[in-house]
Every structure is written in C-alpha cells, then in structure tokens.
Structure 1
C-alpha cells in the first residue's frame, strides 16, 4: 500500500502553483509548461512568468527548500519550450485559421484573442510578437492569431525567437540573481511570486487604459 500512496501523492500536482510543478517535474516540467502555455490554447491558464522566476530562484540552492535545479539545463529547457511552443501555435493557426479560437468557450481566451489582434494592428508584427511574450493569455493566443492573419513565417519566426529568448531566459536569470543576492529568499517566495504576477499584468493594464483614452478622444472629436 505504501507504493500506491506515494505514487498518488506525486500525481497530486497543482498545475497553477509553480512550486508544486517544479517539485513534481523539475527542469523537464518547465520545458513542457512553456510549450503548452505558448503553443496550445488549453495552456493559457498555466503560470509561465512565476514558474520561470521561481525556477531561476531555486537554482541558487540557498535556503532550506527541498527543490534544487541546475541553471544550465533550466535555461535550455525554458528557451526550447518557449520557442517550440510559439512556433507550434503559429503553425496551428496557419492550418486551422481562426477555427481554434472560434470554438473556444472561454471568455478569458476570447478577450485575449481580441487584445492580441489589437496588438498586431497597433504595433505591427515585430513589436507585437515581442511584447505579447510578457502578457499572460495574450502570449498564448497571439501565436495562432499570427498564423491565421497571415504573418509571414520568416517575420514571425525571427521575432518570436527574439521575444521568447528575452522572456524565458530573462525571467529565469532575474530569479537566479535575486536568489543569489538575498539569503534565504525562498522564505519570501509567495510574496515575490505575487509581485511578479502583478508586474506581468502592467502591459495589459497599460493597453486597456490606452484603448479607453483613445475611445474617449474619438468620441470627443466625433
């Protein structure tokens, strides 16, 4: 009975919690989550930002946390998962068009698709593809949207690689730097992750405010 109980405890993973994912799957889990969040629409709810930051922090080996990761393999897994996932989402969008998003019943996903389309129209392909990496949900839906809207493959690939590397490696190294500079920082992991989650929403909030201001200015001129 001991083995089944132990196995069931390993399978009881909270996919919304970065620490739970890392404890269960380690570096491999980071790559899988990056791929799912950026390449599959069903992965829009996954904690990409907090997972990268937490994983980087846990590479320092400071504090008494049970999870210890290696920075080199982590950076590779994060980058490969983020880049491969984005490219997969783009290819799905090119083949299936907007059908994937049209079939979704998730209001959050539909709102993300609308923001992604607005981002592409407002900033152009290059800037939108890079910026989308830092906005939850939008980074999931922009890839198939780009494919469905006919963004040239070369253009998409070049800018998604740039944005993907900056996002995945940048957040991981930020966590590593914080863990290296502050002793026992893992004791404050929950507040730190909460701050990261809030910061990741800044681009989204900025876009909402800009859209409202633009709408009000248009009404005033009309």
Structure 2
C-alpha cells in the first residue's frame, strides 16, 4: 500500500484540516494531534497545482486556532481545579496539565504565545489560563498573536518551500520533511525535561 500524504491532505480538505487545528487548540483529547506538521504539510500541498487555496487555508486555520483556544479557556474557567482532580486515563493525564501550569507560572502571559509552538502545552495552556482566571481581554490579546504566528508562520513556510520543490517530487520530500518537523517540535519539551531532572538532583 502506497501512503500518499499529499493526497490524504487533499482528501481532508479545508474542513478536515480546520477541524484538527480546532481540536488540538482547545479540546482535551486533541493533545496528540499533529498541528505543527499538519500546517507545514498543508502549506506545501497548497503550493502545488489544482490544490488548496493558501489564503483560504490560512484564514480558516487562524480562526479555528483562536476559537479552539477560547473553548479551552472557557473549560478551564468553568470547571477550574476539578480538572486537576480528574483521574488519569488513556486519553487524559493530569501530569500534562501540571507541567503546563509550571510552564505558565514561569513564562506568564507569554505562555499563551510560546505554548503554540510546543506539542501538548499547546492544548493545555488555554485551559490553565482559564483555571488561573487570567483576564479574558489579556488572554484574547495573546491568543490572537500566538494563533497568528503559529498558523500563518508555519503554513506560509511550508507554502514557500513547496514552491521551490518541483510538483513531481513533492511526495518524495513531504514525508521526510514532516517527520523532521514532528521531531523538532518535541525538542523544547525534551530540553525542559532534561533541565528539570538536573535541577531536581
């Protein structure tokens, strides 16, 4: 069976991509979704002929990223500390929420922006902002900045790279590039874990 990521993204279409971006930004089960690599790959695919329109793609991703964060914030604000008392399951681990809270305490309001570029934290940062009763206007301001930088930056980066790759060779390069993005996106988390362990020794 030949796995064709380019065709898979085209099959997902705008609503499939937007739905994944929304889920990863604001729903608890969305933490495992590949937001960074999806945006980048969708940008590469949009650079090809007869494909997704880059500006429609970006606009929808931006709106869904911001809307998803708002859902996460509302969840945290409404249910608050009860989330920290929730038992671990295969879908939810309290550890992720606690790590995001520490990240939030260290980086303050910037965490809403910085977490956009870190898997797992991206999903839990708006929830923690709601739990901490961060002012909604302040949250929304940083949410718009983070959502813009994340969706526009990664998608356009993929798009312009896609313009440099001959259409007939996109499939050859797409999977390795996406794999590299996935690995790189976890580097900040790995560094943070190493530093945390050293500090606890």
TM-score w.r.t. the length of structure 2 is: 0.88
CA contact (8 A) 2:29 2:92 kept: no
Question: Which residue of structure 1 aligns with residue 186 of structure 2?
Answer: 201
Query: In the TM superposition, what are the counterparts of 1:14-93 in structure 2 within 5 Å?
Result: 19=6, 22-61=9-48, 68-93=51-76
Displacement after TM superposition at 1:77 (Å): 0.9
CA contact (8 A) 1:179 1:186 kept: no
The CA RMSD over aligned residues, in Å, is: 2.1
1:69-124 per-position Cα deviation (integer Å, ceiling 9, x unaligned): 11010011110110110011101110111334543514764332122111111111
Gaps in structure 1 of 5+ consecutive residues: 1-16, 217-222
Q: How far, CA to CA, are the matches of 1:102 and 1:180 in structure 2?
A: 49
**Relative to structure 1, is the Cα distance of residues 20 and 109 closer, same or farther in structure 2, using a 3 angstrom cutoff?**
farther
Q: How far, CA to CA, are the matches of 1:78 and 1:18 in structure 2?
A: 19
**Relative to structure 1, is the Cα distance of residues 142 and 71 closer, same or farther in structure 2, using a 3 angstrom cutoff?**
same
SS in 2 for 1:151: coil
Question: Which residue of structure 1 aligns with residue 96 of structure 2?
Answer: 112
Q: How far, CA to CA, are the matches of 2:196 and 2:92 in structure 1?
A: 18
**Relative to structure 1, is the Cα distance of residues 182 and 101 closer, same or farther in structure 2, using a 3 angstrom cutoff?**
farther
Question: Which residue of structure 2 aligns with residue 219 of structure 1?
Answer: none
Displacement after TM superposition at 1:20 (Å): 6.7
Runs of 4+ with deviation above 6 angstroms? none
Q: How far, CA to CA, are the matches of 2:8 and 2:25 in structure 1?
A: 17
Q: How far, CA to CA, are the matches of 1:213 and 1:154 in structure 2?
A: 37
1:186 has 2:155 as partner: no
Bigger radius of gyration:
1
CA contact (8 A) 2:23 2:68 kept: yes
Higher relative contact order (CA 8 A, sep 6+): 2
**Relative to structure 1, is the Cα distance of residues 151 and 97 closer, same or farther in structure 2, using a 3 angstrom cutoff?**
same
Determine which of 128, 131, 154 is the counterpart of 1:145.
128
Number of residue-to-residue matches in the alignment: 195
**Relative to structure 1, is the Cα distance of residues 106 and 19 closer, same or farther in structure 2, using a 3 angstrom cutoff?**
farther
**Relative to structure 1, is the Cα distance of residues 211 and 18 closer, same or farther in structure 2, using a 3 angstrom cutoff?**
farther
Displacement after TM superposition at 1:213 (Å): 2.8
TM-score w.r.t. the length of structure 1 is: 0.80
Question: Which residue of structure 2 aligns with residue 170 of structure 1?
Answer: 153
